[in-house]
């Protein structure tokens, strides 16, 4: 299973996982390899540690997400946000005086506390030792080296790998790795790990399916958080230019979705090419066919976020408006709003979408 990023949109993953638990009705997880980046790393960790009891793990993950507030993920208090905003506004002056400005707009201390409480290292190791889990991978982007690093734990036969601007290395994964993978640029401060400072795993992850393939997957279930509807054919040329908030929303959309969808299409092309080769040529090529199923939302999450935008804590609403998101399309809110009504709507959407494809899901797992 591959889970990509999306901030609060990660609630959609939870609905999909809930439905898969119901469809498969297996005690052990049907996923022997679990990979994620950004919020997908956090959800992947929850699935990985519960590999021996997938049903309980799915219920716990849903209960956890439904209990979230924005204040569970970042500091929503007025004074800290005001001080941070002032600090950022005065960045040129501070730099001129020789004082670098570090950190992000939002303080992720609540998320770090949540990850330390929820992540059970012993359960992860038991999942691997028992054979229920072959590999668990999370990806973070190194600001220090300018590369994408996939940290993994799993069976001993899995080896480190190196490719252009990306590598995979065995590590003792902990809450700090997950925090680094989920550290949105500008919103959250970089996280220091052993080899430098890291940020959101989606930043340099040009091949999101690669970690699953490198660790041995021959079939992959991919969960994205953007609907598959095409963009509008024509733009409103009379509309005002996009604000900073609008541009930030588009940047997040690209960051979390474009590479995953492109990699999925690339895998489909490789599979078609392999199918055209004769038996002898197939034996000689290092490539192997990999079945993949892509689960995408049936609805655009932006209108859903718009309908609940008033639920965002007031200081966060003021902050987003300061970046020009007064009349936004809900894009920014869809990533930042960890509020029960919105989270619940996305979980229900993920659950409903997956149940609609129950037959396809059963066929996918029956082939494993």
CA dist., res. 207 & res. 211, Å (int): 8
CA dist., res. 187 & res. 189, Å (int): 7
- Specify the pairing of strand 166-170 against strand 161-163: antiparallel
Marked catalytic residue, from 75, 141, 148, 200: 200
CB 180 within 8 A of CB 112: no
Q: What burial class does residue 92 get, using C-beta atoms within 10 Å of its C-beta: 0-12 exposed, 13-18 middle, 19+ buried?
A: exposed
253 counts as catalytic = no
Sign for the pseudo-dihedral over CA of 173, 18, 253, 360: positive
Q: Which residues contact 295 (CB under 8 A, 6 or more apart)?
A: 16, 221, 222, 223, 224, 353, 354, 357
Closest CA to 202 of 211, 192, 193: 211
DSSP assignment string, 170-236: E----HHHHHHHT--TTTS--EEETTEEEE-TTSS-S-TTHHHHHTT-SEEEEE-SS--PPPPSS--
Sign for the pseudo-dihedral over CA of 292, 297, 361, 133: positive
164 counts as catalytic = no
The β-bridge partners of 142 are: 147, 198
CA dist., res. 260 & res. 257, Å (int): 5
Sign for the pseudo-dihedral over CA of 334, 336, 338, 341: negative
The pair of three-digit structure tokens given for residue 222, joined into one six-digit string:
């991919």
User: Which single residue is written with the structure tokens 């946000």?
Assistant: 81
CA dist., res. 331 & res. 246, Å (int): 8
- Active-site amino acid positions: 38, 200
């Amino acid at each position: 299973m591959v889970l990509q990023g999306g901030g609060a949109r990660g609630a959609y993953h939870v609905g999909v996982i809930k439905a898969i638990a119901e469809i498969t009705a297996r005690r052990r997880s049907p996923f022997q390899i679990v990979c994620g980046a950004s919020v997908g790393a956090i959800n992947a960790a929850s699935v990985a540690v519960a590999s021996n009891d997938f049903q309980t793990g799915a219920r716990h993950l849903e209960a956890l997400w439904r209990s979230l507030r924005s204040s569970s993920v970042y500091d929503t208090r007025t004074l800290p946000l005001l001080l941070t905003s002032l600090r950022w506004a005065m960045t040129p002056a501070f730099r001129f005086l020789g004082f670098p400005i570090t950190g992000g707009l939002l303080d992720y201390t609540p998320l770090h506390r949540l990850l330390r409480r929820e992540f059970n290292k012993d359960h992860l190791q038991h999942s691997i030792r028992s054979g229920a889990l072959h590999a668990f991978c999370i990806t973070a982007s190194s600001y220090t080296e300018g590369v994408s690093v996939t940290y993994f734990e799993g069976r001993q036969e899995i080896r480190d790998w190196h490719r252009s601007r990306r590598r995979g290395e065995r590590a003792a994964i902990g809450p700090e790795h997950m925090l680094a993978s989920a550290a949105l640029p500008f919103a959250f401060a970089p996280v220091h790990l052993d080899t430098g400072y890291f940020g959101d795993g989606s930043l340099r992850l040009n091949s999101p399916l690669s970690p699953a393939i490198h660790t041995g997957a021959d079939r992959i279930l991919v969960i994205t958080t953007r609907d598959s509807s095409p963009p509008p054919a024509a733009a409103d040329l009379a509309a005002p230019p996009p604000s900073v908030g609008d541009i930030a929303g588009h940047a997040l959309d690209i960051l979390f979705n474009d590479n995953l969808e492109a990699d999925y299409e690339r895998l489909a092309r490789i599979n078609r090419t392999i199918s055209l080769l004769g038996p002898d040529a197939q034996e000689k090529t290092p490539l192997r066919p990999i079945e993949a199923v892509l689960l995408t939302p049936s609805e655009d999450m932006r209108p859903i976020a718009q309908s609940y935008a008033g639920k965002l804590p007031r200081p966060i609403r003021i902050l987003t408006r300061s970046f020009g998101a007064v009349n936004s399309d809900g894009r920014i809110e869809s990533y930042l709003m960890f509020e029960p009504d919105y989270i619940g709507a996305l979980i229900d959407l993920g659950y409903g979408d997956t149940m609609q494809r129950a037959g396809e899901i059963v066929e996918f797992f029956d082939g494993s």
